[in-house]
């Protein structure tokens, strides 16, 4: 009898794991940070990670720790907390032109024809690939800060809306 319960519990655990979406983690940058204290310099590492399911969900996470592995783990969990959902068209592009700003960084994104690929640089390319967008043109303006560019890209993707959402909003405004 107890062996049946163990098998049932094991099955429940496995079914929970299979329901969770499979997320992809891509590292943007690991930097070594030193803090000067009375006793000397204290070294730590800062990791910037993009997390997404390559099907319309993406998030950026940042964390610091005393070693690289823990910094990566912390940044990964921070990215999971900050996931956003974005609409993707049938041609695996974005629905319309969009701009996003964060700090001194500005990112401009435009939909592109099927087969053109992701035309973007640096952190914006990684964010778009992890989000599952395959055909888009993007340009970074302003600062070259990787973290701010990644956050500006997420901000731009967060402001995307579909035709049906616009129609629904207009119908509510007219009534």
Q: What is the pLDDT of residues 117-148, one digit of tens each?
A: 999 999 999 999 999 999 999 999 999 999 99
* Mean pLDDT calculated for residue range 165-170: 84
Which of 41, 64, 81 is the endpoint of a domain?
A: 81
Sign of CA dihedral 65, 68, 75, 156: positive
Tokens 């890209």 locate to 153
In a domain, 174, yes or no: no
Whether residues 74 and 103 share a domain: the answer is no
Which of 58, 81, 104 is the endpoint of a domain?
A: 81
- Say what percent of the chain tops pLDDT 70: 86
- The reported pLDDT for the residue numbered 155 is 95
In a domain, 35, yes or no: yes
Which structural domain, as residue segments, surrounds residue 100? 84-164
- The reported pLDDT for the residue numbered 173 is 67
Whether residues 65 and 92 share a domain: the answer is no
Whether residues 45 and 102 share a domain: the answer is no
Phi and psi for 174 in degrees, rounded to 5? -70, -30
Give the model confidence (pLDDT) of 28-46 as tens digits: 999 999 999 999 999 999 9
Which of 81, 108, 126 is the endpoint of a domain?
A: 81
Residue 175 scores a pLDDT above 90: no
Neighbouring residues of 100: CB distance < 8 A, sequence distance ≥ 6 = 106, 107, 109, 152, 153, 154, 155, 156, 157, 158, 159
In a domain, 60, yes or no: yes
Whether residues 56 and 127 share a domain: the answer is no
The count of domains in the chain is: 2
């Amino acid at each position: 009898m107890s062996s049946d319960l163990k098998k049932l519990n094991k099955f429940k655990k496995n079914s929970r794991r299979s329901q969770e979406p499979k997320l992809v983690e891509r590292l943007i940058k690991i930097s070594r940070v030193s803090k000067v204290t009375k006793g000397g310099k204290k070294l730590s590492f800062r990791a910037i990670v993009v997390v997404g399911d390559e099907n319309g969900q993406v998030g950026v996470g940042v964390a610091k720790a005393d070693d690289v592995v823990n910094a990566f783990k912390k940044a990964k969990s921070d990215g999971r907390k900050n996931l956003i959902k974005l609409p993707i068209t049938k041609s695996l592009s974005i629905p319309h032109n969009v701009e996003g700003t964060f700090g001194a960084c500005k990112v401009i994104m435009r939909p592109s024809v099927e087969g053109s690929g992701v035309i973007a640089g640096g952190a914006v390319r990684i964010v778009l690939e992890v989000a599952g967008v395959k055909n888009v043109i993007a340009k970074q303006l302003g600062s070259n800060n990787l973290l701010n560019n990644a956050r500006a890209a997420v901000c731009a993707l967060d402001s995307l809306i579909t035709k049906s959402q616009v129609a629904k909003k207009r119908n509510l405004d007219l009534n």
